Amino acid sequence: MTRVTLPSVAYIATQVRFALTSSPVFSRTDTITDSERFYHSLLELFEDPDEKQEVDDLVVWWNRHIFPSFAPAQRPLLKNSALARIREKRAGLKERAVSGDNFPPTE
């Protein structure tokens, strides 16, 4: 994760709410805490147009506190990283598909 999402905030709130109860087991269908309903009601609140400014402020607050050093700019891709090798292989597969060469690559 590089930023919080509204579902992650709702999940955290649901977990905190459960931790503050006397219920011994976390379950989405628990009749005491009704965690599933609580979670979905938070998502509905987050999607309410009348709450947009407050929700946007909440997300900014969470991102500042949870990911304070994350820079939104994309980090440079290291040449020999796993991601670089995967992308190189994917590019080769796409190139062969375009050229009609369906034989597996020889390595």
Sign of CA dihedral 89, 91, 92, 98: positive
Question: How many CB atoms neighbour CB 40 within 10 A?
Answer: 13
* 82 and 31 within one domain: no
pLDDT value, residue 12: 93
17 is a domain residue: yes
CA gyration radius, the chain: 22
pLDDT value, residue 105: 58
* 80 and 62 within one domain: no
Based on the structure, what is the number of domains in the chain?
A: 2
Are 4 and 59 a contacting pair, CB within 8 Å? yes
71 is a domain residue: no
Low-confidence stretches of the chain (pLDDT < 70) are 28-30, 32, 70-77, 101-107
Q: 98 is in which domain, residue-wise?
A: 76-107
**pTM score of the predicted model:** 0.59
* 48 and 17 within one domain: yes
* 40 and 86 within one domain: no
What is the rounded end-to-end Cα distance, in angstroms, of the chain?
A: 34
Rounded CA separation 49/45 (Å)? 9
